Amino acid sequence: MTTKVLAIDDSRTIRNLLRLSLETAGFEFHSACDGVEGVARFSEVNPDVVITDINMPNMDGYGVIETLRTKDKTSVPIIVLTTESSDDLKARARAAGATGWIVKPFDDTSLVSVLRRLTGHAA
Amino acid sequence: MQPTPEASEGKTFKFVAFSAGSQSYCLEITQIREIRRWAAVTALPHTPSDVLGVMNLRGAVIPIFDLAARFGLGKTPDNERNVVIVAAAGGNTIGLLVESVSEILSVNTDTIQQTPDIKSEATRNSIQGVIAIDEEMIRVVNLDAVLGADAGIAA
Amino acid sequence: MSGQPSIRDTFFEECEELLEALVEGLADMEDPDHSKETVNAVFRAVHSIKGGAGAFGLDELVHFAHTFETVMDKVRSDTLDVDPELLRLFQRSGDQLADLVEAARDDRDPNRDIQVVVLAELQKYLGDEDEEEEIEFDAMGLDFGGPLDLTDISDDSSEPSSQMISIRFVPKRSLFENGHEPLLLFDAIAELGTLTVSADISAVPDFDEFDSDEPHIVWELTLETDESETVLHEVFEFVDSLCDITITVHRNESASEPPPAVVDLGLPEEPVAPEPSSDPTAAEPLAKPVAVASPSSPSSAASAAAPAADRDHRGPKPTLRVDLDRVDRLINTVGELIINQAMIVQRIEELDLPSGANLTNELEAYKLLARDIQEGVMAIRAQPVKPLFQRMSRIVREASDATGKSARMVTVGDSTEVDKTVIERLADPLTHMVRNAVDHGLETPEKRIAAGKDEVGTIRMSAAHRSGSVFIEIGDDGAGLNRPRILETAINKGLVSPEADLTETEIDNLLFLPGFSTASEVSNLSGRGVGMDVVKNAVQALGGRVSITSTPGKGTTFTIVLPLTLAVMDGFVISVAQETMVIPIASILETVTPNARDLHRIGLNGEVLRVRGRYVPIVDVAHNLGLERNSDSNGNGVLLLVETEMQELNALRVEAIHDQRQVVIKSLESNYGRIPGVSAATILGDGKIALILDPEELVKLNSGDVAPMPIIANQEELHHAAHT
């Protein structure tokens, strides 16, 4: 079984970069361009891991995490992709239920190893 | 792409031979798109007499030249056998009205001779070389020069 | 990653969209009642550019975007109020951001002079506390968010020699809730060396009082590793506050007995019972269907409303990227379809079927369908003028900075869609006109105040579809054209005779004459060797025309009228010297069937028509095309009144008008060349080609302004001369 990743980011560039890195590494890649679409895609795709941006239109990343944790009651890893690495952001993300975070610009090998570690899949 | 008289690699090219102004000419086959029966054209104003007008070639508007007139051999007389050779050169598609198409020749480039030193420079430029077959001398048309790729036709 | 040109390309494409959203958002922010979402959208645009730029190592862009974003963030968090000054700074910052993006895309140096100034101004809003905050661009979030419980670290961990590390790991309930999985953590640790794991389940209560929400397990791990302890911290990075961790390093000891264990799990074998039961999701499986967009959930209700409100001004619409060549091939094919349809209609008419035949209805339906397809295909090429207008607002700012004038830009109808090629080719002419409007059109602030006007001038750009054409207007509320000076300049340059008695419109149109642009008028801004004649030529090349209206003290407006598409045109099918031709309807004011008494001869060949007391020169189309006019055609033919760009009336004489229809424009230039008086050709229903006339040029031919023979003809003459 390939590992399914759902990436939620309003930047097409970031989605493209993620797709490139993750598909190369053997993940099945799905994406959504804002929070609302992300939450909807989640129930369609049923991913093994979610990567989400924080600053997005319609529903921000915190909203996505809270919705997935409280409403979808999911325990899949949710990784926050952010340009900031402030403690405040991490604390907020964690309070919402984030599993971890990755600071943009991301290094694709580290990204892949984090995803593998959190999902336990070789890919 | 066109065979040149100098390139004596000894390659064989196919040429379509036709007659214009009662003389024999030929064009390399890869330059020819198709050969059509003569049909009425729409005249273009402000053009010399060897520009017969424009024709609808499956939706494209292509100019038709009277090749004989263009070579200074007088206007091609109306005849049922007249055909239009549709040729492509330098990104343009044009039609050449000729009297008739005779045959397809397989010609070794070695047998193409340089254009004899005739008086008219314009004619010399329009002829790329000559092919002697039996008693006949067939002129290889330099389409670019005829078109005036360097002489007025828009690119 | 930077070696991926296609992704880099999409980044710049996305930047364009984001910059568009940015400009739009900033414009919306001028409204004092702007919504918070407007500010958010602006912030996100800058933020997204920064995020993407970081991935491509565009540090200068990242730095600028970051500073911009940080100030924006203060507005977003209501710690900074938006005033006109700040808004202007934001707009200038947007311009700089656009310049940086373009510079990065074109691999050139950005305009650092302005950038430094703008950055400094942004910095002023940040004060000292933010000045030092530089963005961290470590490759990954490897920093430690909160304090780790790192008791008993006996020594510096940098020594790589083999060491034993004991880890006591007590997960909290939130660890599971946040999607962590202890066994996966242990897998990661196991990769660092030899790991022994044991679990102490003594805290697990009896099953009757089992609280599945609490983990109740204490894990004891022993790792024998060559890696430094820091690496271990990375593994626990995400869980540092979700569990209690105690790490003890025993250096240079041989592998020792693991701490006492109750259950030996012997990883990486299958997990055993206690773990899954501690997972809160185990009690409530995921299988339950989840209505995500259900309005009953407060969070999704709010978010579901948001896109609806947003829809028409931001948010990516689903789009499809198609190679332009494919679209153009499709357009050509549809052109063939239209011609084919016309041919079928003609053939059927020739059959002379009894009236009321069913075929007629079907044929009409076919015609409408073909027309629909054609419009739909052309719409693919149509794009809103908004990005073009937005570029112009940047030009207005640059121009006002350069001239010391204050100007604001107002746009109307920027959602008007125009053919892509038209938009591309209008950019340069519009830039020139907008610069002119600020530079020459608007007065200095002092003069404006003296004239009782708002100190800030207004440049107004509008776009609209009107009667099958696109109208684009560039107006200013400046002093209006200085007609005496224009006339004087034109006379001095020998463009017009000193005795000429010109109307106001005629004087205004002198601006379009080649060579009008004068040295005395050249400023550092508009004077780049381009005159309005270049603008006019560019517009004409698109099949359009440009005109001026100006009121002293009130301002000047340039109007560009363009065909809706470049591929089809409404025309009259006419006959000229027995040839069927087409003339664009847009150029015709009215058609006149003249009475002999309204026609007057002037001089040898001149002829005029009297219309409502005015005498209008008659242009014989056949004559000007070098064709013989059919002598037995019905009398004086039909006259088509046209107005030239100089606003002169002329009457084109043709034999007859047969029909009015939409024709597909076929270029003559692509295979032949330009022919004076003819703009293009089209294919009629019978498959024959009809020439499309250019009224403007016919009038010029008539007055001898244009050499009647095309270039090719001249060369042909030489060619023939060589023969004879």
Tens of pLDDT, residue by residue over B76-95, are 888 888 899 999 877 788 99
Give A1→chain C minimum CA distance, Å: 17
Chains C and B touch each other (3 or more Cβ pairs < 8 A) = yes
Please report the pLDDT score of residue C88 as a whole number: 87
Rounded to 5°, angle at Cα B33 from B27 and B37: 90
Which tens digit of pLDDT belongs to each residue from C9-24? 888 888 888 898 888 8
Please report the pLDDT score of residue C718 as a whole number: 36
Please report the pLDDT score of residue C648 as a whole number: 78
Please report the pLDDT score of residue C158 as a whole number: 45
Which tens digit of pLDDT belongs to each residue from C174-222? 777 787 777 777 877 887 778 887 777 666 655 555 555 566 677 888 8
Query: Which pLDDT band, with edges at 50, 70 and 90, does C266 fall under?
Result: very low
Comparison of pLDDT for C460 and C40, the residue scoring more: C460
Fold exhibited by the domain A4-116: Rossmann fold (3.40.50)
**Distance in angstroms (rounded) separating the CA atoms of residues C559 and C472:** 6
Nearest to C671 by CA among C680, C663, C662: C680
- Residue C700 is classified by DSSP as H
C603 has pLDDT over 90? no
Region C238-266 average pLDDT: 59
Question: What own/partner pairs with CB < 8 Å and gap ≥ 24 does C120-123 have?
Answer: C121/C89, C121/C92, C122/C67, C122/C68, C122/C70, C122/C71, C122/C89, C122/C93, C123/C67
Please report the pLDDT score of residue C76 as a whole number: 84
Comparison of pLDDT for C313 and B127, the residue scoring more: B127
Helices (H), C35-179: 36-55, 59-76, 84-106, 112-131, 173-177
CB-based contact A101 C139, cutoff 8 Å: no
Interface test with C, best of A11, A18, A34 (most C CBs within 10 A): A11
CB-based contact C14 A99, cutoff 8 Å: no
**Distance in angstroms (rounded) separating the CA atoms of residues C412 and C462:** 4
CA distance to B22, B54, C282, C327, C682, per residue, from C336 (Å)? 38, 17, 65, 14, 11
Interface test with C, best of A15, A71, A83, A102 (most C CBs within 10 A): A83
User: Which residues of B are less than 8 Å from C336 in CB distance?
Assistant: 58-59
User: Which residues of C are less than 8 Å from A42 in CB distance?
Assistant: 292
Comparison of pLDDT for C447 and C669, the residue scoring more: C447
CB of B40 within 8 Å of a chain C CB? The answer is yes
CB of B99 within 8 Å of a chain C CB? The answer is no
Chains A and B touch each other (3 or more Cβ pairs < 8 A) = no
Neighbouring C-beta atoms of residue C292, cutoff 10 Å? 21
Query: Which pLDDT band, with edges at 50, 70 and 90, does C39 fall under?
Result: confident
C277 has pLDDT over 70? no
Please report the pLDDT score of residue C647 as a whole number: 65
User: Closest partner residue to C687 among B53, B56, B94, by Cβ?
Assistant: B56
Interface test with C, best of B61, B121, B126, B143 (most C CBs within 10 A): B61
**Distance in angstroms (rounded) separating the CA atoms of residues C425 and C592:** 36
Comparison of pLDDT for C348 and C550, the residue scoring more: C550
**Distance in angstroms (rounded) separating the CA atoms of residues C204 and C197:** 18
Region C595-607 average pLDDT: 80
Contact partners, residue B116, CB within 8 Å, separation at least 6: B130
User: Which residues of B are less than 8 Å from C676 in CB distance?
Assistant: 45-46
CB of B57 within 8 Å of a chain C CB? The answer is no
Comparison of pLDDT for B91 and C72, the residue scoring more: C72
CB-based contact A94 C178, cutoff 8 Å: yes
Please report the pLDDT score of residue C448 as a whole number: 92
Whether the Cβ atoms of residue C581 and residue C693 lie closer than 8 Å to each other: yes
CB of B148 within 8 Å of a chain C CB? The answer is yes
| Strands B136-141 and C417-419, sheet pairing | unpaired
**What strand order describes the sheet that includes A49-53?**
A28-32, A4-8, A49-53, A78-82, A100-103
Closest residue in A to C310 (Cα–Cα): A58
Which of A5-9, B32-36, B113-117, C420-424 has the weakest average pLDDT?
A: B113-117
User: Closest partner residue to C722 among B56, B70, B120, by Cβ?
Assistant: B120
Query: Which pLDDT band, with edges at 50, 70 and 90, does A5 fall under?
Result: very high
Which of A43-52, B26-35, B122-131, C131-140 has the weakest average pLDDT?
A: C131-140
Task: Report the sign of the C-alpha dihedral through residues C365, C367, C371, C376, in that order.
Answer: positive
CB-based contact C310 A100, cutoff 8 Å: no
Closest residue in C to A60 (Cα–Cα): C303
User: Which residues of C are less than 8 Å from B94 in CB distance?
Assistant: 671
CB-based contact A36 C7, cutoff 8 Å: no
Give A4→chain C minimum CA distance, Å: 15
Which of C16-25, C27-36, C700-709 has the weakest average pLDDT?
A: C700-709
Comparison of pLDDT for C402 and C636, the residue scoring more: C402
Closest residue in C to B86 (Cα–Cα): C671
CB-based contact A72 C290, cutoff 8 Å: yes
Query: Which pLDDT band, with edges at 50, 70 and 90, does C299 fall under?
Result: very low
**Distance in angstroms (rounded) separating the CA atoms of residues C259 and C198:** 8
Which tens digit of pLDDT belongs to each residue from C461-482? 999 887 667 889 999 999 998 8
User: Closest partner residue to B42 among C689, C713, C715, by Cβ?
Assistant: C689
CB-based contact B61 C666, cutoff 8 Å: yes
Region A93-115 average pLDDT: 81
Q: How many Cα neighbours within 13 Å face the side chain of A108?
A: 18
Interface test with A, best of C58, C300, C317 (most A CBs within 10 A): C300
Which of A66-75, C33-42, C323-332, C705-714 has the weakest average pLDDT?
A: C705-714
User: Which residues of C are less than 8 Å from A104 in CB distance?
Assistant: 51, 54-55
Q: Across the A/C interface, how many CB contacts are shorter than 8 Å?
A: 187
In terms of Cβ atoms closer than 10 Å to its own Cβ (0-12, 13-18, 19+), residue C99 is: buried
User: Which residues of A are less than 8 Å from C314 in CB distance?
Assistant: 57
User: Closest partner residue to A104 among C55, C176, C185, by Cβ?
Assistant: C55
Ordered domains of chain B (ranges, CATH): 12-147 (2.40.50.180)
**Distance in angstroms (rounded) separating the CA atoms of residues C682 and C581:** 9
**Distance in angstroms (rounded) separating the CA atoms of residues B127 and B146:** 9
Chains touching C by CB (3 or more pairs below 8 Å): A, B
> What is the share, in percent, of chain A residues with pLDDT greater than 70?
96
User: Closest partner residue to C141 among A36, A94, A102, by Cβ?
Assistant: A102
Q: Which two tokens stand for residue B32?
A: 């020819």
Residue B24 gets the label, from left (phi > 0), alpha (psi -120 to 50) or beta, of: beta
Please report the pLDDT score of residue C274 as a whole number: 42
CB-based contact C671 B148, cutoff 8 Å: no
Please report the pLDDT score of residue C149 as a whole number: 34
User: Which residues of B are less than 8 Å from C666 in CB distance?
Assistant: 59-61
Please report the pLDDT score of residue C558 as a whole number: 93
CB-based contact A59 C145, cutoff 8 Å: no
Region C370-393 average pLDDT: 84
Interface test with B, best of C716, C717, C724 (most B CBs within 10 A): C716
CB of C719 within 8 Å of a chain B CB? The answer is yes
Comparison of pLDDT for B68 and C9, the residue scoring more: B68
Please report the pLDDT score of residue C629 as a whole number: 62
Please report the pLDDT score of residue C693 as a whole number: 92
**For all residues of chain C together, what is the average pLDDT?**
75
B145 has pLDDT over 90? no
Chains touching B by CB (3 or more pairs below 8 Å): C
User: Closest partner residue to C625 among B45, B58, B148, by Cβ?
Assistant: B45
Give chain B's radius of gyration (CA, Å): 15
Region C419-425 average pLDDT: 84
Interface test with B, best of C672, C675, C691 (most B CBs within 10 A): C672
